[in-house]
């Protein structure tokens, strides 16, 4: 992240280590399991993590495709993130499944979470916010990550659609 943002590598990088902990712990180790727990009643919430995967995957692969060279997330994106997203999109959304507008909601959630993350880090690097605010924004961002698909479910009327076990295999 530091080199992508034109900053020196650690330990000279000004991005606090707490930023990375706040992002990974709150999004990956708290929000994603909470989403999975809620999936029985709120399927779009339960699948929101895949919106994060596709957005993260695209942010790593697209620069590589446009000549910026290999980056540390490109291999994970190509082998794990993007294939998992497309598998979930194919098997969980569409006729007789969750409507495609639910897929749009989870992708939108992934995009919004990434925008908040990047905007806050750029604000920090420009001196507009301090490190404590930067870290606090990442914690709030994890709650936003869960709130977006829940609001999407209510606004778009995405009610629970039973997914047959064989649809997921």
Q: How far, in Å, CA of 58 to CA of 85, rounded?
A: 11
Q: How far, in Å, CA of 58 to CA of 109, rounded?
A: 14
Q: Which structure tokens are listed for 23?
A: 């992002």
Q: Which structure tokens are listed for 36?
A: 């999975």
pTM: 0.88
Higher pLDDT: 129 or 6? It is 129
Q: What is residue 91's predicted lDDT score, i.e. its pLDDT?
A: 95
Q: Average pLDDT of the chain?
A: 91
Q: What is residue 160's predicted lDDT score, i.e. its pLDDT?
A: 61
What number is the average pLDDT over the span 73-93?
94
Instruction: For the chain, give the number of residues.
Output: 169
């Amino acid at each position: 992240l530091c080199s992508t943002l034109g900053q020196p590598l650690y330990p000279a990088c000004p991005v606090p280590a707490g930023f990375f902990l706040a992002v990974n712990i709150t999004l990956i180790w708290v929000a994603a399991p909470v989403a999975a727990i809620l999936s029985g009643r709120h399927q779009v919430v339960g699948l929101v993590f895949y919106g994060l995967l596709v957005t993260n995957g695209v942010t790593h692969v697209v620069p590589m495709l446009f000549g910026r060279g290999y980056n540390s997330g490109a291999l994970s994106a190509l082998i794990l993130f993007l294939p998992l997203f497309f598998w979930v999109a194919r098997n969980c959304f569409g006729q007789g499944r969750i409507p495609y507008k639910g897929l749009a909601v989870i992708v939108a959630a992934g995009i919004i979470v990434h925008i908040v993350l990047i905007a806050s880090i750029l604000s920090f690097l420009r001196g507009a916010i301090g490190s404590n605010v930067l870290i606090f924004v990442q914690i709030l961002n994890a709650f936003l990550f869960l709130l977006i698909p829940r609001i999407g479910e209510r606004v778009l009327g995405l009610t629970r659609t039973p997914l047959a076990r064989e649809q997921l295999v």
